[in-house]
Amino acid sequence: SYSSWDFFNQYRQTRDIILYDQRGTGYSEPGFCPELNQVLSPMDYSGDDPEQVRNRAVTAIQDCREEMLNRGVDFSRYNSATSVRDLNDLRKTLGYQQWNILGGSYSARLALTAMRDTPEGIRSVILDSANPPNVRNWVQLPRNLTRSLNLIFEQCKNDERCRAAFPELKPNVYN
């Protein structure tokens, strides 16, 4: 679990650390299709065409949506704005006048939303690998990852030392 990471030990000496599972994630109930992680995570490294990856992701997400609707989940209560209000309510419930927020990737997006929507009580914010609100990450990720990997493969192929050290780089990455 995150709470046992060495990264947090230095902060634990002088700060409380609060880990927040937003609605539908982690230990929150109802959970949103935990099996999606099994479907979505490995797809980025499949070597498949980005359109194929996107289509598989869309199908898995549509299946999850259908399952959640059948369970009576109200999707209007699962969004960044609601999560930020939950986060602020958590701060108040725990009795903190102010706190510091550390967010990476989507959590950085959530921190940006908190800074905009509920700035009271936020002392400082650290954004790591920000995923800004204007980026459609799940739509762009497969294409961007494929492009980045192809650039690495091409650069390695054109560099004698890299080519000698990693003669089968592309097949090894995808296998």
> What's the pLDDT tens digit per position in 102-111?
988 888 889 9
- Which of the pair, 6 or 83, is modelled with greater confidence? 83
Report the candidate in 123, 110, 103, 112 with the shortest Cα–Cα distance to residue 2.
103
pLDDT of residue 167: 95
What is the residue-averaged pLDDT of the chain? 86
On the question of pLDDT at 13 being above 70, the answer is yes
Report the candidate in 30, 22, 14, 126 with the shortest Cα–Cα distance to residue 71.
30
- Is the distance from CB of 135 to CB of 9 less than 8 angstroms? no
Tens-place pLDDT, residues 57-83: 889 889 999 999 999 989 898 888 999
Cut 0.95: pTM above it:
no
Residue 146 CB-density burial (10 A; 0-12 exposed, 13-18 middle, 19+ buried): middle
Tokens 């409380």 sit on residue: 16
